[in-house]
């Protein structure tokens, strides 16, 4: 009976999206423990101990996708431990498909660790998502970036190896013929001009989509950047007397945003966002918006940040033993030709980590500043 229940859960796993499966698993864990003593439920030390136990399982000591030893990242919806190279591709899929969390850099809750444990680890994940993987088609540690991205998209986004290909039959010939005939009838009904315009629009949009996916698939990642959105000051009014601001950051094809803070021009977010750094390295784009319910969100300014100096400083001091607060570089706001810096920007070593504090003067808006702190995490970590 227990086995039937497990098989039923696995079937639900395939019918759901990964994020829905993850939410259901977490909800189930919380429901099971509603009557328990939760005195240490959010204890980071307890979660860390559980996480280390999972990492010590034999299958979890290697990346679920390419086999690189000692993976330090987890794709939480699937329950897979992955390496930093594969984590870049998982991030590019979007958080609605794969949510990537660092084993060392992020704080884990008991609920997140238990959701990971419920998924069964790399062994169970690969039994599910590589059940019908053709022989010799799994990527190797030294595969190209294009091969890595293509495999991970097929495995998780399109789930091409979950079912036996022989049961994935195309549309039967008679039904396909009927569909073609129906489409031809509609084209004749609306006239040649209508059909021509529709086919042109469809083709153009399809090409754009394919081009975007191709561009993303060939990106090489050189590290990660952690962006702490600290606060906003004297932001622009977009409602009657105030605004409901949030921040969106973009790096290449990736984007993330903070929560909305209601009715304030001086919001304090203190929210950390993390993105993969593509090569070549683009500027980090920051935009502030006012959240609206019944119309499109209003713009409240923007700014571009050149992250290359921080990356260079991080590489230079990657093996540094300096732990005390040490200033490395300083950019004067008065000498900023772009007018983006509201205050001097400093790159420093803080507790052994290279960080940059920046107060941005928002552009294309009447007023407003946003304070951020950024940190680069090289691939070696």
Task: Cite the beta strand spans of the chain per DSSP E.
Answer: 73-75, 80-82, 100-102, 220-233, 245-251, 254-257, 268-279, 284-290, 298-305, 326-331, 345-350, 353-361, 369-378
User: Is 263 a residue whose pLDDT tops 80?
Assistant: yes
Structure tokens at 286: 């920051």
Residue 165, pLDDT score: 64
Crossing angle of the two packed helices 110-119 and 121-129, in degrees rounded to 10: 50
pTM flag (> 0.85): no
User: Is 301 a residue whose pLDDT tops 60?
Assistant: yes
Name the strands in the sheet holding 100-102, side by side, starting at the edge strand that comes first in the sequence: 80-82, 73-75, 100-102
Residue 366, pLDDT score: 96
CATH class, 221-378 region: mainly beta
Query: Tens of pLDDT along 24-82?
Result: 444 444 444 444 444 444 555 677 888 888 999 999 999 999 999 999 999 988 999 99
On the CB side of 100, CA atoms within 13 Å amount to 24
Q: How far apart are CA 250 and CA 196, in angstroms?
A: 37
User: Is 16 a residue whose pLDDT tops 60?
Assistant: no
Query: Tens of pLDDT along 161-220?
Result: 987 665 544 434 444 444 444 444 444 444 434 443 343 344 444 444 444 444 454 567
Q: How far apart are CA 313 and CA 301, in angstroms?
A: 29
The domain 46-157 having CATH identifier 1.10.220.150: the answer here is yes
Segments making up each domain of the chain, as ranges:
46-157, 221-378
Q: Which residue has the higher pLDDT, 338 or 238?
A: 238
């Amino acid at each position: 009976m227990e086995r039937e229940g497990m098989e039923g859960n696995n079937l639900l796993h395939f019918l759901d999206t990964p994020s829905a499966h993850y939410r259901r698993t977490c909800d189930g864990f919380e429901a099971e423990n509603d009557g328990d003593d939760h005195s240490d439920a959010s204890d980071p030390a307890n979660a860390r101990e559980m996480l280390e136990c999972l990492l010590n399982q034999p299958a979890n000591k290697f990346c679920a996708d390419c086999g690189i030893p000692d993976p330090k990242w987890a794709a939480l919806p699937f329950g897979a431990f992955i390496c930093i190279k594969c984590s870049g591709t998982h991030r590019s899929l979007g958080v609605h498909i794969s949510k990537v969390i660092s084993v060392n850099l992020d704080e884990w809750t008991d609920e997140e660790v238990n959701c990971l444990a419920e998924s069964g680890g790399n062994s169970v994940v690969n039994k599910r998502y590589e059940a019908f993987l053709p022989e010799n088609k799994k990527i190797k540690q030294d595969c190209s970036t294009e091969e890595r991205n293509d495999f991970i998209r097929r495995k998780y986004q399109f789930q091409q190896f979950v079912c036996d290909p022989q049961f994935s039959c195309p549309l039967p010939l008679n039904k396909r013929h009927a569909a073609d005939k129906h489409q031809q009838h509609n084209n004749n009904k609306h006239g040649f001009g209508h059909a021509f315009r529709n086919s042109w629009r469809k083709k153009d949009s399809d090409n754009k989509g394919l081009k975007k996916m191709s561009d993303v698939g060939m990106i090489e990642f050189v590290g990660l950047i952690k962006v702490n959105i600290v606060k906003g000051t004297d932001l622009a009014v977009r409602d009657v007397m105030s605004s409901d601001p949030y921040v969106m950051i973009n790096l290449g094809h990736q984007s993330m945003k903070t929560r909305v803070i209601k009715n304030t021009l001086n919001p304090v977010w203190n929210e950390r966002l993390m993105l993969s750094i593509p090569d070549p390295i683009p500027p980090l784009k920051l935009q502030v918006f006012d959240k609206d319910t019944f119309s499109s969100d209003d713009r409240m300014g923007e700014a571009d940040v050149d992250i290359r100096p921080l990356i260079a400083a991080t590489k230079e001091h990657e093996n540094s033993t300096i732990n005390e607060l040490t200033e490395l570089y300083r950019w004067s706001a008065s000498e900023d030709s772009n007018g983006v810096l509201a205050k001097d920007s400093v790159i420093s070593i803080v507790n052994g980590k290279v960080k940059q504090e920046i107060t941005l003067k928002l552009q294309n808006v009447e007023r407003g500043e946003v304070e951020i702190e950024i940190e680069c995490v090289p691939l070696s970590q």
